Amino acid sequence: MRFSDSFLDEIRARLPVSEVVGRKVKLQKQGREWRGLSPFNQEKTPSFFVNDQKGFYYDFSAGKSGDIFSFVIETQGLSFSEAVEQLANQAGLAVPASSPADARKEIQRRTITDVLELASNYFRENLKSVVGEEARNYLRRRGISEAAQQEFCLGYSSPGRADLKNYLASKGVSQETMVDAGLLIAGPDIPVSYDRFRHRVMIPIHDGRGRVIGFGGRAVAEDAKPKYLNSPETSVFHKGSVVFNSHRARQPAHDDGTVIVVEGYMDAIAITQAGMKNVVATMGTAFGDAQIEGIWRLSREPILCFDGDRAGLAAAHRSIDRILPNLRVGRTFEFAFLTDGDPDELIAKKGIDAFKDILRGALPLWEVLWRRETEGTTRIDTPDSRAALESRLYELIKTIKDPIVNTAYYRTCRIELSELFWQRSRAHKRLPSDGLTRSEIKIEKEGQRHGIQRIVLGILVQHPELIEIHYDQIAKLPLDAKYHNFHRALYDLLVVYPDLNVDLIYDKLPKSFFEILNEVHGDGDNKSDRSERKPRGHMLFQRFPIMRANPPETFVIACLDHFVNMLQIEQLDSEIGEFFSDNHSQRDVSDESMLRIMEMAKELNDRRDRLAARDRELADEAAEIRRLGERYSAPLAKPREPESFRL
């Protein structure tokens, strides 16, 4: 059976050599190649190599080499037809039925590529002739050297409506073939057919074998529309599957270990001319699955290069959606964004090193996807807004077909979401300036954590009746060790003296705790000058001045609950921070751990929101207490020395 070259090429495109050989030979990665023991000889030292970029295997021990078809024939004893049918099945392709019509199509395709090659030579001669002077001047202004013009077989289509048509006709090419090749525009409503490309710099587009399959034409006149014109879809040219310059970039990409992908062929020409040969272009078309696979055959981790403007960013974002379903283990993309015009403009202004610097800063695909979905997202402060963000990301990840990559992205996403919620919560950690903790608390020099701990213990000394009510809550707080011991000592004192008051605490507390007692509450002094005399509790009043106003016990309890809540939130924040510190770069975290930390991050956000609201409420109550004054204050549960609490 006779198989068309295009069909065999499609099988090669879908089945990397390492995948086919890997079913028979245990391969290990070595640089840009795969290495294993020869399937044809018995050996202990591997001398069998596979190169996906070149599409061949090499067996130095047996002196054999070939592609996937020859490997299957050699190792399984199949005929060529049987090998093709087997590999086509593995590639998910139906073997075409052999028929006279198929044979005619193959002949037609060959005829078209021959005509396109003829047209390419015609355009090249035009560029060199008198008629091509304006085009040469344009290329000179763009900085395209004569050497680059020859390397890329650049040409020129003259302005006449039938110049190419007449030339090809003189060579025996029919009008039908010219139309099929995309060189001529004709139709029932067009009286006289005419050349598709006129007054344009012509860039031949080649397939992987280096055969001309189409053209890109750049208008010489700046006011011409469109500025760039590609060949139409033909039997040999499919824009969604073609990668410009792939046949030239294959070996340089293999040698360099990566390939650079730009949007336009003029950019690819400029970069190549500057010395980087491992560059291809998508010609500005939508990123197709076949293009993705073709680029991966050149490199497993290509770098997509886009302009840094809004249009370039939008193009990068569109490409992500096309790439995600195709991701596989060991095959991804990186993204580089220019900050100074197109690649050729950047190189012209600052040189190739400036372009290389941009490439060195390329971002992983996940990073660009994450930024796309989260940057500018101001509302993740409610359960609904956070759920919406999670849903968008998870829906995108679902499109990844490879189960291993899908799982890796899912886990990474959950960790990143948890950290985002945590970071946003930390960004709003400071309570509003009109809240209780800003208007009533004076702990700037002590720091919030230590200051609040001292206020909590100072309130318990001032209001011993609250020790038992809040004991369990406070005992679980992340207090400093000395404060935990002090809190326990207060509770032990309450057990012995059920009617415990401030005086009893100062009288009966073990002397070893007096330093902390004075630190959190503050003993009075007996200075003769009453204006300089400090009341008992002066350290608490200094940190939390509203306590001087002898506030109602309900308000004191509310404040104590508020401060305990603040310390609990601080503890939750610390636990989440430790998780990210330990696991931020480790993605192999159990689903249970990720679910727990994500719930903690959400809880932290919600609790900080509620804390801020309660903080403002308590500030309003404190202001009202101050306004009404001591005359309207509710009496405290226990009698106090009135002079100690006068304003």
pLDDT digits (tens, 9 = 90+) for 406-440: 998 988 888 888 777 777 666 655 555 567 877 78
Spell out the residues 6+ positions from residue 620 whose beta carbon is closer than 8 angstroms to its own.
none
Distance, CA of 163 to CA of 123 (rounded, Å)? 11
Q: What is the DSSP string of 491-510?
A: HHHHHH-TT--HHHHHHHS-
Mutual angle of helices 591-628 and 403-427, in 10-degree steps: 10
Q: What percent of the chain has pLDDT over 90?
A: 51
The Cα 571–Cα 562 span in angstroms is 14
Strands 260-262 and 303-306, bridge-based pairing = parallel
DSSP code at position 3:
P
The sign of the CA dihedral 115, 117, 120, 125 is negative
Q: Is 375 exposed, middle or buried (0-12, 13-18, 19+ CB in 10 A)?
A: exposed
pLDDT < 70: residue spans in the chain: 1-2, 77, 97-108, 284-286, 376-381, 424-434, 525-533, 581-589, 630-647
pLDDT in tens, 169-215: 999 999 999 999 999 999 888 989 999 999 999 999 998 778 899 99
Q: Can you count the helices (H) and strands (E) in the chain?
A: 27, 16
Q: How deeply is 380 buried, as exposed, middle or buried, from its count of CB atoms within 10 A (0-12, 13-18, 19+)?
A: buried
Do the Cβ atoms of 436 and 562 come closer than 8 Å?
A: yes
- Secondary structure of residue 435 in the 3-state scheme: coil
Locate 627 and state its tokens: 């306004």
Place of tokens 């963000």: 389
Cα–Cα distance for residue pair 309/79, rounded to 1 Å: 55
Nearest to 405 by CA among 304, 333, 309: 333
Structure tokens of 133?
A: 């002077």
Longest pairwise C-alpha distance within the chain: 123
Residues with Cβ within 8 Å of 579's Cβ and at least 6 positions away in sequence, in order, are 593, 597
Strand pairing report for 184-187 and 228-230? unpaired
* Contact present, 98 and 153 (Cβ < 8 Å): no
153: region left, alpha or beta (phi > 0 left; psi from -120 to 50 alpha): left
State how far the alpha carbon of 367 is from the alpha carbons of 374, 399, 416, 597, in Å. 10, 17, 10, 21
Q: What is the DSSP letter of 331?
A: B
User: Which amino acid is located at 422 in the chain?
Assistant: W
Distance (Å, whole) CA 187 – CA 176: 11
Q: In what order do the strands lie in the sheet with 228-230?
A: 155-157, 200-206, 212-219, 228-230
pLDDT at 647: 26
Task: Return the pLDDT at 645.
Answer: 30
Q: What is the pLDDT of residue 583?
A: 56
Compute CA 91 distance to the chain's CA centroid, rounded to the nearest angstrom: 30
CB 41 within 8 A of CB 95: no
The answer to whether 113 and 211 have CB atoms below 8 angstroms apart is yes
Which contiguous run of DSSP H or E holds residue 371? helix 365-374
Contact 92, 86 (CB under 8 A): no
User: In a 3-state reduction of DSSP, which class is residue 95?
Assistant: coil
Strand-pairing partners, residue 203, are 216
CB 86 within 8 A of CB 148: no
CA 10 to chain centre: 31
Q: Of 379, 423, 419, 398, give the one whose Cα is nearest residue 594.
A: 419
Angle at CA of residue 244, ends 240 and 247, nearest 5°: 120
pLDDT score at 449: 85
Asked whether the whole model's pTM tops 0.85, one would answer: no
Contact present, 178 and 115 (Cβ < 8 Å): yes
Alpha helices in 351-402 (DSSP H): 352-360, 365-374, 383-398
* 598 within 8 A of 418, measured Cβ to Cβ: yes
